[in-house]
Amino acid sequence: MSSAPLSNSTAHWRALDAAHHLHPFSDTKALNAEGVRVITRAEGAYVFDSEGNKILDGMSGLWCSQIGHGRKAIVEAIATQLSQLDYYNTFFKTTHPAAAELAAAIAGVAPEGMSRVFFTSGGSEAVDTVLRLVRHYWAAMGRPQKTIFISRKNAYHGSTMGGASLGGMAPMHAQGGLPIPDIIHVQQPYWWAEGGTMDRDEFGLFAANEVARAIDEAGPENVAAFIGEPIQGAGGVIIPPDSYWPAVEKICRERDVLLVCDEVICGFGRTGEWFGSQFMGVKPDLLTFAKGVTSGYFPLGGVIVGDKVAEGFIANGGEFNHGYTYSGHPGGCAAALANLKIMHEEKLVERVKFDIGPYLQERWLKLADHPLVGEARMVGLIGALELTPDRASRAAFAAEEGTVGLICRDFSFREGLVMRAVRDGMILAPPFTLTHAEADELVAIVWRVLDLTYAELQRRGLLVPVPRVGA
Ligand SMILES: *Cc1c(COP(=O)(O)O)cnc(C)c1O
């Protein structure tokens, strides 16, 4: 069969999809009325839709595609693995070569003092594993009252009951009776929207002190852990002030509260270090990973457990009554091993730190000169633009929050670039293999998209600044 889609296939797939497919994070009624986009193929930094449009994948799928799309070495590694051992579990005193090799390979790039890995099928399951593992750890250490988790408002930790509860997304809590008990959400380190009159570092310390205050109010003897993304991804690529993470680490240590970094986005090179916690200069007790570990070629995630917790847990924990059928799936482990091999051979983490990262950052940060942009920020290959009608006051638009973001996102797709909108900001996280020419093309599209958005807002009378509540 030819890879070119049949001329009527978009309508055909849309009809099947509308009749049978319930989409995650979507309003099915609105989506079916509009018609879903059908992506049929991907190559390098580009995806192609069923209408033949070539679109630059500025989001690496969903923050997954570190090595770019369509890499045959990964496909072959998965095929070879599945033809030898398609599936076997890792429960009941059993392992398989790929799971053992991958656990060692991950320990090899993990931060110092973190050498054990628990496998899951994705990030949400990894976060749920942390909840259960940490609570069981404290119980095993004779401190069963230490159960409370501190998290942040507007954090994203996945969409299972545990993950969505630990996350701080109000619209997610509003559905299904969340959060589960014993989770406290505190101030996020989001200076641009919530920093008010404080300077960045002052605000970073303020936000860190809110962690201390929550722990002290609950009683440190009742608090199991603090969890945070080194950089909040789905929340809008919120890069905390430099003062924030070291202060949070110190606060946790002083109170005997474990520090958990959710590295599902930041892990495996996104910031130019192997892990975002290294970029922030902190040492977590546990960290979660998924997405980039396989570049999205196969679902796999997990938890890296630091030696202090692992030793206590192994010595005193007995049987851990937890696991997933696909914990350490052979296909996922083979994909991750091949992905790590490519990342090492092509020095892709170094490339993010010293080459394509700085190259794109330089051009991205200049977007702050556009009249619609309040702030442009980027570290490694993860960045955001805050859109505002008035940079000086960091004002909001005279429209429901998110309206402008969606206008901008639609222009972006039309012009051939995937950017995601969060509130009235745009976020970006391209593959590590992005070339300089592709980075130039990306930034040129963004300038055009900002101009189109600006003209549209002018036409609709939406450029009137509205003071931001809470700032
Ligand atoms: C995507 C994400 C998750 C959830 O991962 P899934 O594989 O979708 O379950 C958890 N934490 C963070 C920080 C994420 O970005």
Length of the chain: 471
Low-confidence ranges of the chain (pLDDT < 50): 1-2
Q: Which atom of ligand 1 is nearest to the CA of 121?
A: 7
Distance 63 CA to ligand 1 centre (A): 9
| Ligand 1 atom at minimal distance to the Cα of residue 291 | 7
Which superfamily is assigned to 17-70+350-462 in CATH?
A: Aspartate Aminotransferase, domain 1 (3.90.1150.10)
Q: Which atom of ligand 1 is nearest to the CA of 266?
A: 13
Residues lining ligand 1, Cβ inside 6 A: 122-124, 127, 156-158, 229, 233-234, 262, 264-265, 290, 301
Distance from the alpha carbon of residue 92 to the mean position of ligand 1, in angstroms: 28
Q: How far is the CA of 279 from the centre of ligand 1 (A)?
A: 19
Distance 294 CA to ligand 1 centre (A): 14
pLDDT digits (tens, 9 = 90+) for 13-59: 999 999 999 999 999 999 999 999 999 999 999 999 999 999 999 99
Select from 278, 215, 225, 232 the least CA-distant residue to 383.
232
Q: C-alpha angle 221/227/228, rounded to 5°?
A: 145
Residue nearest to atom 11 of ligand 1 (CA): 157
**Residues spanned by CATH 3.90.1150.10 within the chain?**
17-70+350-462
From ligand 1's centre to the CA of 265, what distance in Å? 7
Model pLDDT, residue 1: 43
Q: What integer pLDDT is reported at residue 468 of this predicted model?
A: 82
Residue of 154, 291, 329 to test ligand 1 pocket, by largest number of atoms within 8 Å of CB? 291
How far the first Cα of the chain sits from its last, in Å, is 57
Among 265, 275, 287, name the best residue to mutate to test ligand 1's pocket (greatest count of ligand atoms within 8 A of Cβ): 265
Which atom, in ligand 1's list, is nearest to the CA of 158? 4
- The CA–CA distances, whole Å, from 166 to 150, 185, 192 equal 8, 8, 23
CATH 3.40.640.10 residue window(s) in the chain: 72-345
Q: Does domain 72-345 have CATH number 3.50.50.60?
A: no
**Burial 75-84, CB ≥16 within 10 A → b, else e:** eebbeebeee
Centroid of ligand 1 to alpha carbon of 156 (angstroms):
7
What per-residue confidence (pLDDT) applies to 4?
54
Q: Give the dihedral sign, CA 213/214/218/221.
A: negative
Distance in Å, CA 133 to ligand 1 centroid: 18
Between the CA of 235 and the centroid of ligand 1 the distance, in Å, is: 12
3-class DSSP string for 196-212: CCCCHHHHHHHHHHHHH
Give the closest residue (by CA) to ligand 1 atom 5: 123
Among protein residues, the one with the nearest Cα to ligand 1's atom 14 is: 264
- pLDDT tens for residues 47-91? 999 999 999 999 999 999 999 999 999 999 999 999 999 999 999
pTM of the full structure: 0.97
- Give the span between the Cα atoms of 328 and 241, in whole angstroms: 36
